[in-house]
Structure 1
Amino acid sequence: MSDPWDGPAGQATRSRSARVPGQRAAEPDGPPPPGGRAAARAAARSHGGTRGRRGRPVGRGKRVLKIFAIGLSTVIVVTAGAGWWFYEHLNGNIHSVALDGKGGAEKADAFGRTPINILVMGSDGRTSAADCKLGGGCAKTGVQTGSNADVQMVVHVSADRSNATVMSIPRDTMAKVPACKDSESGQSTNGYYGQINSALQYGPACQVATVHQLTGIPIDHFVKLDFSGVVKMSDAVGGVDVCVSDDVYDTYSHLKLSKGAHTLKGVAALEFVRSRHGFGDGSDLGRTISQHIFLSSMIRKFKSAGTLTDPTAVYDLADAATKALTVDDGLGSVKKLISLASDVNKVPTKRMTFTTMQTAPDPNNKDRVVVGQGARTLFSTIANDQALTTGSGKKSAAAQATAKPTASAVPASRIAVTVENGTTVTGRASDIATALTDQGFSPETATANAPSPATTTTLTYGTGQKGEAQTAAKALGLSSSHLRQGTGTGLTLVIGSDWPSGSSYPGGSSSSAPADTQAAVSNAHASTADQAKTCAKVSPYKTVELNGVSMTPSQAYAAARKEPDSDA
C-alpha cells in the first residue's frame, strides 16, 4: 500500500519555550515624601551646624548583609515558584487515557520485582492543522477524526532493569480485534478480524488489548506519538544522527538524502521514520528496521554527556515530550514519566535489543502479513522476561540448551492437552491452550467446553502419562494437588472457577522451560542500540515513482537534482 500525500510537507516552526517572566519591583507613584537626609541637613544648617554628639552610623557590613539576605530570600522564593510553575506546566501538557486493565498484568520475579511492558504507538492521524500539514492527505477532507497505529513497538524493560527488548509489529499484520469502546469518542466495535493498526480507531486501550491478545504479552502502559510529536522531539534533542547506505529519494514520504551520515531535525526526521518505500523491500518491514536505527541513535543522544545537563535543553526536551505524548493514566504525571525514564536509563545500550516480529505472507491478501515462524518464541521471551543479550552485550545462546530437564522424558512438543472451560468466562480454554502451544506444546492441543461447571481446576491423565501431566502442570503453575489419574488416555485439563484469568494458576509457580532465544531472534532483524555505524539499507527495487516512471530510490535521487535534500 502507498501512503497518500497531497503536496510537499510544511516546514515546522520551532516556537520558543515559555519562561516565567521576572517581576519588576514596585516603584513610587510620585515625588518622595518630605523629610529624610536632605531635610535633616537643611535643618542643621539653619541652626548653625550640628550640636552635641552625632549618632553612631549603621555599619556598612550590616547593611550589605541585610540587603544580601533580602535578595537571597527573594531568589529562593522566585526559584521555588518557577520550579512549581515548571512542574505544573509540564503536568498540564500531558494527555492521559485510562487503560482499564486491557493489557493484562505483569508477574513479579522471585525478588518481587516486575518488568515493564509499554506499547509505543505512532499515529497517522491528521487530527490537527499541524498534522495535516506534515502528513498530507487533507486537501479534500480537511482535518480528520480517527487514526491508525502505523508504528507499534512493544518496549520491554526487564524486572532487574539490566536489559530491554523493543519488538516492532508491522502495521500490515492481520489480527483479531476484540470488542472495544473508545472512552473519549464513544466509538465502539463488537470485534473483527482485520489489519492490526486499525484498532486505534477505537482508542489506545483497544490497540493495547489487540496487541496483548495477539502476543500474550502483558502490556502495562502505552505511549502515543503523532506527526508533530516526532518533529518536536527531534528538534528538542538537537537532531538525530542517521546513516543511509546509498542516495535515497522516497517520493512518497519526501525523504531525500545523499549516501552517508546526516543529522536530521524537524520535518526531515519525520520523513525518515515514515519512509516505507525508501528502505528494505519497500514495505513496512524495511521501515521498522530504519526506525530502530533512528531510535537507537536518539537513545545514544539522550545518554551522551551534556544532553541532559543543560537546563535549557532539559526544559525544551521535557516540554516537547509532554506536549507530544498521549499516555495511560499510569504514566499521567511528570513524576511517573521521570520514574519510567530513570528505569529505561539504567539499561546500557549494548543490552537494548531491537527486533521485528517474524511474519509470513497472508494467504488471502498478498499486501498483508500474518504471524510467522519464530514469532511465538519471540513473544514468549518477552512475556517470560528473558534477555536476548548476555551481560557482555552479545546475543545469548539458546536458553533451552541449559534448561533443567522436565519431569517427563517426552518433549513438550509431543504433549497434547485437551483444555475444557468449566468457568463462565468466555475464551478461557482458548487462552490456556494458546499459552501451552506458545511454550512449545503440541499444536494438536485442543479446546472444548466442560460437561458441567467446575469450581476446582483439575488435570486428568491416562495410565503411564503422569510424567507428561507433571510437565504440563509445571508449565501452568499447577501443584500436584490438581493432578488426577483417569481411566482413559491423554491429558484433559478442566479450568475451574478458581482460575478465572491469566495463563498461570493464581499463586502457582509456573516454571516452564525458557524459550529458545536463538529461535526468538531468527529472521527478526535483531540489533542493539550501541551499533552506531549501522546504515539504513536503501531499497534496490523500483519502489518509488517520479513523473509517472517507476524507479529505485537511488535513481529517483539522481533524477531529482533540483529537489533540495531533506537536511539542506
Structure 2
Amino acid sequence: MSGEQQPVRHSTGAARRGRWLTFTLYTLVVLLLATAGGGFVLYTRLNANISSSELYTGTTGSAGVQQADDQGRFPVNVLVIGTDSRSSKANCKLGGACDETHSNADVELLVHVSADRTNITAMSIPRDTMTDLPGCDDPATGESVGERYGQINTSLNYGPGCQVAAVHQLTGITIDHFVLVDFAGVIAMSDATGGVEVCVDNNVYDTYSHLKLSKGKHTLKGEAALQFVRTRHGFGDGSDLGRTYGQHAFLSAAIRALKDRGTLLNPTKLYGVANAATKALTVDEKLSGIPDLVELAGEFNKVDTDRITFTTMQTVPDPENPNRVVPADAAQKLFDTIIADRSLSKDKTAATSTATSSASPTPQATTSTFFSVQVRNRSGQDGRAKRLTRALKTEGYIAATDSSSGDDQATSAILYNGSRQLAQAEQLATDLNMPSSLLATDEEVDAVTLVVGEDWTKGTTYPKITKAQREEALSDAHASSADKSGCVPVSTQNTVTYQGVSMSPVRAYELATDVPDSDA
C-alpha cells in the first residue's frame, strides 16, 4: 500500500484503541503455564473466573469441519480476538474513550497449529478489512443482524461467535476455538514475566500511543509494554499494517521469555496474574475450564519458536475508500496453505524440498494385497501420470495411466468408490505422503484413482510444500519467525504531530526532551 495513503488510516481513533493482538495470545500462554503446575486447588479457584460463549452464531453455515491428516491427527485453529471494550473501570482507564459503548474486534489473529504439532502459523487480519459479513444472532443480547458489506471488526458487536463466522466466511479456514481478551490484567502479566525485551532500529516517539524509546534494546513492563503494542504511527510506514511489525516482534519476544524463564512454572508467583487474566478472558464453550485451556497450551508448547511463523493477510486499498483495505488476490494462496495444513516455517531438513519429494515411495501396506490404481494427469506438466504409474508399479501396485482428457486441477486427490476402496485409498495416501484430507468419494470411478494436480509437478511423493510455494503464500505477508529478535523498523515518514507540527517519530524524539522515555 502506498506511503501517502496508509498513515492517515484511522488517525483519529487509533490512539484510543488497545492493540491486543499480542496480549491476547500472551494472556493464554501465561495463564496456561501458570496453571499447568498448580494442581487441583488452582484449577478450582480460577475456573469460576472464565466466561464462555458459543463458538459460532452465524445464521447460516458453521465454523467449518476440521480434516484429519494421514495419521488421523487434527490441526487446531484458534481465533484470538482483542477487544476495545470499555466495559469495566480498569479497561476504561487503560483504553480511554470511556463513553464508547461498542465492542469491536480491534485485533484478529488466526493461530493454526499443525496436525503433527511441528509448526504454527499466526495470521493477522487487518481490522479495517472490508468484506461481505454474515448474518448473526447474538445469544447474549438476543439482537440479530443480517448479511451486509462492512468492516470485519464490527462483527464483534454481535458477539464473538459472529466474529468467528465473519473470519470463517472470509478465509474458508475451519475455526475450532476462540479466545477473547480485553484490557484488564495485561500490565500485571508483562510485569510477572520480568518484562519483555524488544528492539527498535532508531529513536522513536509516537505522540499518539506515547511510546518513547531510544534506538536499541529495551525491557518493557506495564504501561510501556502497552504503548509498544498500541503503536502504529511509530513503526513501518505508520499505518495499521505497519503496526503489525511491533506486535509480532513483541509476541515473539514474549513467547521466548515464557519458554526460557522457569519462574513462570511457579504457580505461587503467578497466581495473581492468572487470576487477573482469567477475569479478562472469554472463550468458546469447549474451552470453558482450566483443564481444557491447559491442554490447549500443551499443544502450543510442543512447537519450537523457530517453527512459529507470523504473517499478515495480504491486502490492497479499498477502491471505494483509500483508508480501508480489501483482501488481495494473494491472500487466497495463504488461506489455502493454512487449510491444507502445510507449514510456512523454513524447514531445517530436506523434508519439504523437491529433492526429498523426488524419492520413491516406501510402501507401508495397510491392506493384505496391492491393488489397482488409475493415475490421471491434471497437473499441466506432460508425463506426470506416466512417471507416477512407473513408480507405483515398482512398489507392487497394479497401476495404469488414465489417458482421459480434462481440465487442470489445482489440488491433487485420491478418489475412491465405497467403503471397500476406502482402506485402499488410505494405504495409497500413506505410501505417497498425501494427507487424508485429499481423499474424496467418487461413485464414477471403478478403481482407486490418483489425480495429480498442479500442486504436485515434481517427484513421486506428495510434497509438503516447496520453497517456491512457501514464498508465493507469504508474498507481501510481512512474515517473521518467533525465534528472531531483530529490531522493529521505525517510521521515517511524517506520521506523528508534535506541538502542532507534522514530523517523523525520529524527529519528535529529538525535540521532546522534556518527555521521559517509556522505560525510564
TM-score (norm 1): 0.67
Distance 1:5 1:372, change over 3 A: closer
Q: Does residue 351 of the first structure (1) align with residue 307 of the second (2)?
A: yes
Matched to 1:109, the amino acid is: D
Q: What is the 5 A alignment of 1:477-516? A: 479=416, 513=455, 516=469
Deviation at residue 4 of structure 1 after TM alignment: 3.5
Deviation at residue 165 of structure 1 after TM alignment: 0.6
Q: Does residue 126 of the first structure (1) align with residue 86 of the second (2)?
A: yes
Deviation at residue 85 of structure 1 after TM alignment: 3.9
Q: What is the 5 A alignment of 1:180-191? A: 180-191=136-147
Give the equivalent residue in structure 2 for 1:550. Answer: 502
Give the equivalent residue in structure 1 for 2:376. Answer: 407
Give the 3-state SS of the residue equivalent to 2:43 in structure 1.
helix
Match of 1:161 among 114, 117, 126: 117
Match of 2:493 among 537, 541, 545: 541
Give the equivalent residue in structure 2 for 1:563. Answer: 515
Give the equivalent residue in structure 2 for 1:309. Answer: 265
Structure 1 stretch displaced more, 362-371 or 307-316: 307-316
Distance 1:397 1:527, change over 3 A: farther
Give the equivalent residue in structure 2 for 1:116. Answer: 76
Give the equivalent residue in structure 2 for 1:36. Answer: none
> Does the aligned pair in 2 maintain the 1:240–1:301 contact within 8 Å?
yes
Distance 1:179 1:255, change over 3 A: same
Give the 3-state SS of the residue equivalent to 1:294 in structure 2.
helix
Give the 3-state SS of the residue equivalent to 2:248 in structure 1.
helix
Distance in 1 (CA, whole Å) between partners of 2:116 and 2:86 is 39
Matched to 1:521, the amino acid is: L
> Does the aligned pair in 1 maintain the 2:200–2:490 contact within 8 Å?
yes
Deviation at residue 249 of structure 1 after TM alignment: 1.2
Distance in 2 (CA, whole Å) between partners of 1:398 and 1:518 is 14
Match of 2:64 among 104, 117, 131: 104
Matched to 2:86, the amino acid is: R
Distance 1:562 1:360, change over 3 A: same
Identity %: 52
Distance in 2 (CA, whole Å) between partners of 1:251 and 1:214 is 34
Matched to 1:249, the amino acid is: Y
Give the equivalent residue in structure 1 for 2:406. Answer: 468
Distance 1:97 1:228, change over 3 A: same
Deviation at residue 400 of structure 1 after TM alignment: 12
Distance in 2 (CA, whole Å) between partners of 1:92 and 1:373 is 45
> Does the aligned pair in 2 maintain the 1:396–1:518 contact within 8 Å?
no
Matched to 2:71, the amino acid is: F
Distance in 2 (CA, whole Å) between partners of 1:236 and 1:295 is 15
Match of 1:526 among 476, 479, 502: 479
Give the 3-state SS of the residue equivalent to 1:320 in structure 2.
helix
> Does the aligned pair in 2 maintain the 1:240–1:298 contact within 8 Å?
yes
Deviation at residue 342 of structure 1 after TM alignment: 0.7
Deviation at residue 343 of structure 1 after TM alignment: 0.7
Deviation at residue 313 of structure 1 after TM alignment: 3.1
Matched to 1:518, the amino acid is: E
Distance 1:392 1:268, change over 3 A: same
CA RMSD in angstroms comes to 3.3
Distance in 2 (CA, whole Å) between partners of 1:511 and 1:136 is 56
Distance 1:305 1:233, change over 3 A: closer
Distance 1:324 1:510, change over 3 A: farther
Distance 1:100 1:6, change over 3 A: closer
Q: Does residue 2 of the first structure (1) align with residue 11 of the second (2)?
A: yes
Give the 3-state SS of the residue equivalent to 2:173 in structure 1.
coil
> Does the aligned pair in 1 maintain the 2:135–2:145 contact within 8 Å?
yes
Give the 3-state SS of the residue equivalent to 1:327 in structure 2.
strand
Q: Does residue 517 of the first structure (1) align with residue 477 of the second (2)?
A: no
Distance in 2 (CA, whole Å) between partners of 1:394 and 1:323 is 45
Give the 3-state SS of the residue equivalent to 2:209 in structure 1.
coil
Indicate the structure whose relative CO is greater, using CA pairs within 8 Å and at least 6 residues apart: 2
Distance in 2 (CA, whole Å) between partners of 1:249 and 1:182 is 41
Matched to 2:153, the amino acid is: N
Distance in 2 (CA, whole Å) between partners of 1:555 and 1:192 is 43
Instruction: Give unpaired runs (5+ residues) of structure 2.
Output: 1-9, 19-37, 361-373, 382-401, 419-436, 443-449, 456-463
Deviation at residue 118 of structure 1 after TM alignment: 0.5
Matched to 1:151, the amino acid is: V
Deviation at residue 398 of structure 1 after TM alignment: 7.8
Alignment length, in residue pairs? 418
Greater Rg by CA: 1
Give the 3-state SS of the residue equivalent to 2:210 in structure 1.
coil
Matched to 1:213, the amino acid is: Q
Distance 1:258 1:410, change over 3 A: closer
Deviation at residue 92 of structure 1 after TM alignment: 0.9
Instruction: Give unpaired runs (5+ residues) of structure 1.
Output: 10-81, 413-463, 482-502
Residue-by-residue CA offset, 1:499-530 (whole Å, 9 max, x unaligned): xxxx9887689996367222011221111111
